[in-house]
Amino acid sequence: MARRNTELGLLVLVVAFVVAAYVLASLGLDRRLPANIVPFGVGMVVLLVCTNLLTRWLAPQADPTFVPLAAALNGLGYVVIARINPDLAGLQLLWTVLGVALFTVVLAVVRTSRDLSTYRWTIGLVGLVLIALPFTPLGTSVGGARIWVGLGPVTFQPGEFAKVALAVFFAAYLVEKRELLAMGSWGIGRLRIPDPKHLGPVLVAWGISLLVMMYQTDLGSSLLFFALFVVMLWVATARASYLAVGGTLFAIGAVFAWSTFSHVQRRVRVWLDPWADVAGEGYQIAQATFALADGGVTGTGLGLSGSIAIPVAETDFIFAVIAQELGLLGATAVLVSFLLLVGTGLRTAVRADNPFDKLLATGLAALLGVQAFIIVAGVTRVLPLTGITLPFVSYGGSSLLGSWLLLALLVRISDGSNRRAAGARRGVAAGGSA
């Protein structure tokens, strides 16, 4: 249980960090201690200790850094959201509890990650249905992007769950077809590619990303879906030619989208020169730029960034608020947390003893890394703004639930691999002593 004890120690540090941040944000905003500091602190302790106890039971050999890193990001996001928009704090707390509950349910139901490959076609179909839901009459547009689905009083983003389902399907499919996909039977100059019939999945992924971009006006999700498949295809086959083919297809799709759709042209125009219409289209990104500059190295302090108003700061631009209040040091700490999460996921993939587990862990880690990169790059004007959320940090039930679901699968893969490795070591030791 050494791993779980390490995890518990890290969670104690997370509780101390989040409670201290909550107090500082309240002092910065109202110059007084928050009235609910005691129930908030007790609730944090109960939630994270229960998570540790359940992980001890359901995944005792999992890597001990997954949950503390996710909890720290989730907690920091909650503190900032509670400061930006107190009306959303209760909902974010509810979604956090539900996310941890979903994390536990997935660990309880999926006892062996390789069982998922058995249902790959069903899971793939579910992923496609989730992507298509916003195209139906249930779909609604928010902020110009048709990525939401309304079921009575509840609205959610099905794409947050579709990306996990597609990662499972891609992993199972690529494990089955990796030898055929790795064969270079066709040549274009020095570039060797497999038989065109085996390139179908690449073209399907490209088509799906274009459809999402065209009909949902969602640049971020289209880029995320396509990057997921190209990365997994490259890892499965070890052929750099797929990166070249994928990059070419993405460039063609991007040029087509820019020349065809006004919303893509608007995003690119604002990205290149937000100051041309700083009171209109460029206002949001300009305010974020001012916030980044205002933060400096050490930040203005939690709760002390109210002088620069950023529209929709709790979702698209929460990283800008964090960078303003905690400065370059705080923003770097957030990025390092994501690097550690992604690195732990990739380490899990390296240690996995099964091709499906290796590829799925790689895909899930890539999802976390690419999504965080896309939104941070949009806020800092490295890329055009896409509107996707920062995992674990941004406000939103769909985003939090999808992130905790993804984390549960990584924890399950890590636990299974470590248990089998420990069993193998015990077997070797027993054989040696005999």
Average pLDDT over residues 371-399: 88
State pLDDT tens for residues 270-294.
888 888 888 888 888 999 999 999 9
Non-local CB neighbours of 353 within 8 Å, separated by 6+ positions: 417, 420, 421
pLDDT digits (tens, 9 = 90+) for 201-215: 656 766 666 666 566
Q: How far apart are CA 61 and CA 416, in angstroms?
A: 7
CB 402 within 8 A of CB 160: yes
Domain ranges for the chain: 119-260
Question: Could you report the per-residue pLDDT of 134-151, keeping only the tens digit for each?
Answer: 777 777 766 556 677 777
Angle (deg, nearest 10), helices 283-295 and 318-351: 80
Q: What is the pLDDT of residues 384-397, one digit of tens each?
A: 887 788 999 999 88
Which two tokens mark 136?
A: 């139906």
Please say if the pLDDT value at position 186 is more than 60. no
Q: How far apart are CA 174 and CA 232, in angstroms?
A: 8
Q: Where are the beta strands (DSSP E) in 108-236?
A: 139-142, 145-151, 154-156, 186-188, 191-193
What pLDDT digit, counting tens, does each position of 59-102 carry? 999 999 999 999 999 999 999 998 888 888 889 999 999 999 99
Give the residue-averaged pLDDT of 113-142.
81
